[in-house]
Structure 1
Amino acid sequence: MKELKLILTVLLLLSVTTIADDYVRPQPRKTLHLPWHSKSSSYPQQVHISFAGDKHMRVTWITDDTSAPSVVEYGTLPGKYGSVAEGETTSYSYLFYSSGKIHHTVIGPLEPNSVYFYRCGGEGPEFELKTPPSQFPITFAVAGDLGQTGWTKSTLDHIDRCKYDVNLIPGDLSYADYIQHRWDSFGRLVQPLASARPWMVTQGNHEVEHIPLIKDGFISYNSRWKMPFEESGSSSNLYYSFEVAGAHIIMLGSYADYDEYSEQYTWLKTDLSKVDRKRTPWLLVLFHVPWYNSNTAHQGEGGDMMQTMEPLLYAANVDLVFAGHVHAYERSKRVYNGRLDPCGAVHITIGDGGNKEGLAHKYITPQPKWSDFREASFGHGELKIVNSTHAFWSWHRNDDDEPVKSDDIWINSLVSSGCVDQKRTEIP
């Protein structure tokens, strides 16, 4: 009799699960192993671009030849380069590994919404980039915790189809995890996309790579992925801001000091005080560890940073906050201090780009009131800011290598909702 009851209970649970969710979540895919093609030592590798202040782009690439020039030739016609810029170089060693020569060259001024052709170091292939528009509409791709697996490749293929203007990554890029040649393979993996559109990143826990008494943290990340921190008045590559079209975007460091006496906290207050919502009506923030998370994975890890910095973001009327770290997708309603608030930010966790560790399947039940949609699947997001008042967010699940739109919502800016007038405009 007990065995019969057990069987009936199992069948009932299976039927309920099937009715509630008939989607079979995918398993992790193996790490990619990219073939290495022999090139000359001065051949540019791992090319990617990022913003470097108003109307300028930073072109980054690596060569094995330490004497290769750090020059970028560029122009608006294929094979015809009317401009040339020279940049800086760096390199680093990590235990038994020595990096190639890492080149960072800023080009510009560039016209908005325009195609440029460029060549790095005077040889190698010609690359093509498109600058983002200077006004709405503008589309952002968003994907965290990328890694280098088969699911990563699928996510990158899907992002490539969405005709985005800028890619935003809230941490955990290569999953090199101290094995430095994995930074090189990641650079080769993302080059087709990252050389064509600006990739703006912040650090995650897999970028730390700190060895006590031997190596400081973030050496690989800071050397390879230089962001416009100096251009935005920051003293650290781990946090910075930039503006594009009508959006002011702040990239914070979950693994940099963030208490009220820290340099990051002071910089954030200063940066927020300079935001002009008439010029940039949309205000976005990215960091790695989510503040609002109903997954059992990494539960509560963002609490200290949230307690310190959420009042600043709330007072500044931040519209959207993106985070990674949790290997699943979740979108909140507008929330502040743990409660629904029409003038709070929408928080989106999107740490499901394709990492090697797999998905975080377990969620807390019952679902919190602030949580609007959640699913443990690989995928990416797209944010199209249509105008100063409306943006369309969609999340695209990886399903048998085809992007399936599983969540979408229209979002009104806080400027248009009257929240800016209701709250104190002075940052506390």
Structure 2
Amino acid sequence: MSSLAMSLTHGLLALMHTTTSLPTDRSITSTYRRPRASRKLGEHHWPRNMNCAQPELGCAEQVHLALGGPGEMIVSWTTLNDLLPSTVKWWGATESEERAHNASGEATAYSQLVFLDPELIDPGMGMPGADEKELLAMQDTTSWAFDPFDPGQKGSSYHEATEVQMGLGEYKNPQEIYNSPLIHTTVLTNLSAGETYRYRVSGDGRDFSFTMPPAAGIAFPYTIGLTADLGQTLVSDANVATLRQRMGEAQPFAGFVLLSGDLAYADGYFSRWDSFGRMIEKLAAEVPLMTTGGNHEIGTAEAWLSYNSRYVMPFRASGSASNLWWSMEAGPVHVIALCSYAATHANSLQYRWLVRDLKRVDRSRTPWLIVMFHAPWYNSNSGHVGESELMRRDMETLLYEHGVDIILCGHVHAYERTHPVYKGCVNDCGPVYLNLGDGGNREGAYIPWRMSPPAWTAFRESSFGVGMLTLHNETHAFYNWTRSACEGANEPGHMNFNASCETIVDGELDNSKFSTVASDVVWLVRPLRRVPAACAARSCEAPPWSPSPSPSPSPSPLQSRRPESAADTAARFSTTIVLLAAGFGVFIGLSIAQLAPIVVRAASNLCSTSAHSEASKLAPSFKKSDEAHFEANDL
């Protein structure tokens, strides 16, 4: 590399991995307490749809998509009137509406006792979901709880509410029972790969559109949006808007968004599922939203009811008995969703299904294998440490032996990316873990991080943002996490949208060395041939959750860790292009986020050509039993 290229490279690396001077003892927590959030922050409730097909019957709303089986799209929405059928009118984007098809589905509704969580009226971040006055009115029964034939006799439901009672509501008080709207689910079938369609649900005066995934094995570049622990604050809304924009800009193939659990943060106040549906509609009505359940879908009296009723995944099409674990093929990727809050041992329904599904994966059709579940196995934050240890012990080896490339999680309200890791050791054959619990929910950010970073952690920051993953060919993926906001001390709702922000919680700063870095940009590279049994651990932390010394410096991104192939040469050359272009862009005042879509597309063409050439050479020597390893080269 020329001296100019080296100079630009070093300058870019310094820009991307800026560190700040922090207090040496970060174990001391300040006595500072955040003031309570105000309802006067200007944070809007997401309005109901007022564009009705038949105003006298009310409007449809909360429209969202999910991919079904091959050639299928699942459409869900809600109405308040049961006279509106569960029908969807759809037609090809290049066709006239006169040629439209009609698909029919089914509808359901439910009622459930509310549960009041303290975060509802006193959130760590954002605006309260309710105020004490309306909750007291809901719990007070003094206006009606009397014997109708003996007006002086108080009924068993009588309660004079002077203080909000948290927890599960009283079944004797109908005012504490939530009644859902009618939830419609209709599956569109016989859709063509790569085609764009328009559609309209019953009760709605609006039209939406979506594009089906391309046929498996030929779709590059292919872009996937990533998030988790979303909630419904202004930060959540900003992240949804970013995902919508980035997915709309992705070319040539925009796939879907993966949300690794904890959607609405309704936490038993079930009307918040409706407001979440309105917030997410601007994204999910046109981009399929693929989800798995988290603790906020099972806890605080949720018990999966709202989640399973509203967010139907393709579990039947993938041979699963439960909406909580499923799989699908889309373009060049096979996605598996697992449940952190169901049995995972070898004799469990979930484990046995996973074994069957992994055996069905055809890496010649879907070279990328991504798994998502909620609670992370690898987490160097102080929050939720080791909660999923039993699941890790049950399933880690199985996923490793099948060459899983990337594992997506949430739960911890921060962002962390690992090196390829297996059983606590950095291992080139292990998956890269992306912990994306930074969606922006009302509980705020988690700090501190463990003082001595484990050897397997590559990047960590307690702020909020979204990830974008673009699969460029069978071996190369470009990953970009971008920060949207930090938790602040004095900002309205404790939400700091300043580009140079740094998270502070109760007077304590984020103690990550990356706390002021606004993006994490990396090429994820894996060879075509996968042989996990041949991999050895490069650095280890044992036992998995104990402190470890600081890891050795990472190899240069241009230094090969194995014999260089044609694909590696292309990756090395394309990385140099990205660094040179980005360095020049910084010099003329452009941001990395502005430059990345331009330079990556050009560089990826080189990668794609070489990787396909290598695949052609190696394919005759492959056996179905051959496995692959994963490698991440940090920019």
What's the TM-score once normalised by structure 1's chain length? 0.88
Q: State whether structure 2 residue 195 is matched by structure 1 residue 143.
A: no
Instruction: Return the offset for 1:15.
Output: 7.8
Task: Give the Cα–Cα distance (whole angstroms) in 1 for the partners of residues 76 and 523 of structure 2.
Answer: 35
Partner of 2:607: none
Kindly provide the amino acid, as one letter, of the partner of residue 60 in structure 1: S
- Describe the shift of the 1:152–1:32 C-alpha distance in structure 2 as closer, same or farther (beyond 3 A): farther
Kindly provide the amino acid, as one letter, of the partner of residue 113 in structure 1: G
Q: Which shifted more, 344-353 or 76-85?
A: 76-85
Task: Give the Cα–Cα distance (whole angstroms) in 2 for the partners of residues 383 and 319 of structure 1.
Answer: 12
Which residue of 79, 86, 101 maps to 1:63?
A: 79
Partner of 1:73: 89
Partner of 2:294: 204
Contact 1:273 1:426 in 2 (8 A): no
Task: Give the Cα–Cα distance (whole angstroms) in 1 for the partners of residues 291 and 529 of structure 2.
Answer: 30
Partner of 1:112: 193
Q: State whether structure 2 residue 54 is matched by structure 1 residue 49.
A: no
Contact 1:145 1:351 in 2 (8 A): yes
CA shift digits 1:78-105 (9 cap, x unpaired): 6445211111221111121111111111
Q: Which runs of 5+ in 1 are unaligned?
A: 1-13, 20-26
Contact 1:334 1:345 in 2 (8 A): yes
Kindly provide the amino acid, as one letter, of the partner of residue 289 in structure 2: W
Q: How does 1:9-408 map to 2 (within 5 A)?
A: 16-17=21-22, 32-36=44-48, 40=55, 41-77=57-93, 79-95=97-113, 96-121=177-202, 123-134=204-215, 135-163=219-247, 164-209=254-299, 211=301, 217-399=303-485, 400=497, 406-408=519-521
Contact 1:79 1:126 in 2 (8 A): no
Q: Which runs of 5+ in 2 are unaligned?
A: 1-18, 25-33, 114-176, 248-253, 486-496, 501-516, 536-623, 628-635
Query: Which one has a bigger Cα radius of gyration?
Result: 2
Kindly provide the amino acid, as one letter, of the partner of residue 407 in structure 1: D
Percent identical among aligned pairs is 41
CA shift digits 1:47-105 (9 cap, x unpaired): 00001100110000111111211111111246445211111221111121111111111
Task: Give the Cα–Cα distance (whole angstroms) in 2 for the partners of residues 353 and 281 of structure 1.
Answer: 28
Contact 2:192 2:212 in 1 (8 A): yes
Partner of 1:9: none
Give the secondary-structure state (helix, strand or coil) at the position aligned to 1:16.
coil
Task: Give the Cα–Cα distance (whole angstroms) in 2 for the partners of residues 426 and 137 of structure 1.
Answer: 25
Partner of 2:146: none
Give the secondary-structure state (helix, strand or coil) at the position aligned to 1:165.
strand
Give the secondary-structure state (helix, strand or coil) at the position aligned to 1:102.
strand
Task: Give the Cα–Cα distance (whole angstroms) in 2 for the partners of residues 42 and 70 of structure 1.
Answer: 14
Q: CA RMSD in A?
A: 2.5
Kindly provide the amino acid, as one letter, of the partner of residue 107 in structure 1: L
Task: Give the Cα–Cα distance (whole angstroms) in 2 for the partners of residues 80 and 386 of structure 1.
Answer: 38
Contact 1:51 1:58 in 2 (8 A): yes
Contact 1:210 1:218 in 2 (8 A): no
- Give 1 or 2: higher strand fraction: 1
Instruction: Return the offset for 1:37.
Output: 5.7
Contact 1:42 1:121 in 2 (8 A): no
CA shift digits 1:235-268 (9 cap, x unpaired): 0000000010011000000111112221001101
Contact 1:146 1:355 in 2 (8 A): yes
- Runs ≥4 in structure 1, deviation > 6 angstroms? 27-31, 401-404
Kindly provide the amino acid, as one letter, of the partner of residue 419 in structure 1: V
Kindly provide the amino acid, as one letter, of the partner of residue 524 in structure 2: I
Partner of 1:418: 530
